[in-house]
Structure 1
Amino acid sequence: MTFNDTLTFSQSSAVLDAPEGLPEAVFWDMDGTLINSEVYWAAAERHVIELHGGTFSDEVPLRARGQSTPRLLQIVQEYIPAHVDPDTLRSEIIGYVIDREREKPCWATGAVELLDVLSQAGIPNVIVSASPRAMVDNMARQAPQGAFVGYVCGEDGLPAKPDPAPYLRAAEIVGADPVNCLVFEDSPVGLQSGGASGATVVAITGFTPEGVVFDGPQVTNIKDYVGLSLDDLANFMELGSLEK
């Protein structure tokens, strides 16, 4: 999905002052990257499993992290003794998380400030998530006005991460070569997806639970977005170009 976006005079001026080597666009995974929603997902998984007479395990969020919605439902079903219609599970889990996100968006630390920096520099942003459309659309519309020019979601009919298709689609939305784009991700499958598209990938570790290992292809790991500048993004892109 794309949104209308207008480059203002102040943004045009910022582009003239920007350092060389900046990404043509920045692509953000959503859960655990753009927003700290993993706690909401874990709570939803526990709620639904126990609602249907199952026993929740701490391994559920670890297994479900970064997975597509169909795969998430399969994992949750394993912890419920009787079969539950997938549409019912989907509705219960997604409804729970959306309600929490509407109450409190839970933006990742420094994310909104970085989005503002990118907007002022005229660099487009796209959300690339495996989550359902209703969830991604909700967060895109809660973001600062003009922050995102569009999004890719789990209901777009594309192969799921770690396939590069979601990030290739994001590049199509902005009309950019993925090689010249930057990806923020927080899961192994997401990092693989972004790297396979040809983009430069940075791993966000601030919300990563123990047991999740990042073994590539990111150029660096960062906890959050606090203090990130355009110079930092240019440095990320330079690191990426050295590895390609």
Structure 2
Amino acid sequence: MTFNDTLTLSQSSAVLDAPEGLPEAVFWDMDGTLINSEVYWAAAERHVIELHGGTFSDEVPLRARGQSTPRLLQIVQEYIPAHVDPDTLRSEIIGYVIDREREKPCWATGAVELLDVLSQAGIPNVIVSASPRAMVDNMARQAPQGAFVGYVCGEDGLPAKPDPAPYLRAAEIVGAAPANCLVFEDSPVGLQSGGASGATVVAITGFTPEGVVFDGPQVTNIKDYVGLGLDDLANFMELGSLEK
């Protein structure tokens, strides 16, 4: 998908009223950032491990958080006594999560409202996730119309986070310099990836298990998106410019 530079009358008005220093684009990690799906992933991991005669541990979701699908499957396999074909594990886990997300979209608090603000201001959004294409596409389609101009997923053949490649690709999608973009992330590997790309990074902590330490390159930590407006995004970018 390609960002359309043609703005509606309402978007043009919003742009005229917008503060200076706004990001040229906003990139959203998906699980635990854009959507509160970590509970679905944990349930899927428990379901599959126990299905194959293993014993689930609460450390599984912590270890799997933010990881690529191949790494997630490796972690899950460690808790299953007999080897299971990775394609089988992948199908079972992803199928479980997609079914839950189709039943009940789990948008992060305030995310849809912020997407609407950004859309009205003509600022493009891109999902940048390690999840498979079917899952990312499912959530992109459930978002408000026009909220996302594209996405990067775990099946795009790019090096996985913490490598900066996924966020560099997102910048290519919108034709912006990474340094002029804002990233929302929730995992250590995601924060590292966004920071390494040169973007300004904000950590979302509202869906993070206790004990996870946020000491990455982010300029600030926020619980959710409630009440965030264009002035806040401009402030984030200013903080990012001071640290570069």
Do these two structures clear the TM 0.5 threshold for a shared fold by scoring above it?
Answer: yes
- Post-superposition Cα deviations, 1:70-128, rounded to whole Å, max 9, x if no partner, equal 00000000000000000000000000000000001100000000000000000000000
- Post-superposition Cα deviations, 1:149-170, rounded to whole Å, max 9, x if no partner, equal 0000000000000000000000
User: 1:211 deviation in Å?
Assistant: 2.3
Cα pair 2:3 2:174 within 8 Å, conserved: no
User: 1:208 deviation in Å?
Assistant: 0.4
Q: 1:180 to 1:5 in 2, by over 3 A?
A: closer
What's the C-alpha RMSD, in Å, of the aligned pairs? 1.0
User: 1:3 deviation in Å?
Assistant: 7.0
* Of 100-109 and 3-12, the range deviating more from structure 2: 3-12
Cα pair 1:66 1:130 within 8 Å, conserved: yes
Cα pair 2:29 2:128 within 8 Å, conserved: yes
Rounded to whole Å, the distance in 2 between the matches of 1:6 and 1:131 is 31
**Runs (4+) off by over 2 Å:** 1-7
Rounded to whole Å, the distance in 2 between the matches of 1:107 and 1:135 is 14
User: 1:7 deviation in Å?
Assistant: 2.4
Residue matched to 2:139: 139
Rounded to whole Å, the distance in 1 between the matches of 2:175 and 2:15 is 18
Cα pair 1:183 1:200 within 8 Å, conserved: yes
- Post-superposition Cα deviations, 1:4-57, rounded to whole Å, max 9, x if no partner, equal 685212111211110000000000000000000000000000000000000000
Cα pair 2:69 2:154 within 8 Å, conserved: yes
Over the matched positions of the two proteins, sequence identity in percent amounts to: 98
Q: 1:41 to 1:3 in 2, by over 3 A?
A: farther
Cα pair 2:3 2:124 within 8 Å, conserved: no
Rounded to whole Å, the distance in 1 between the matches of 2:227 and 2:211 is 28
Residue matched to 1:86: 86
Q: 1:236 to 1:3 in 2, by over 3 A?
A: closer
Rounded to whole Å, the distance in 1 between the matches of 2:28 and 2:12 is 23
Helix, strand or coil for the counterpart of 1:27? strand
- Post-superposition Cα deviations, 1:58-81, rounded to whole Å, max 9, x if no partner, equal 000000000000000000000000
Unaligned runs of 5+ in 1: none
Q: 1:3 to 1:241 in 2, by over 3 A?
A: closer
Q: TM-score normalized by structure 2?
A: 0.98
Q: TM-score normalized by structure 1?
A: 0.98
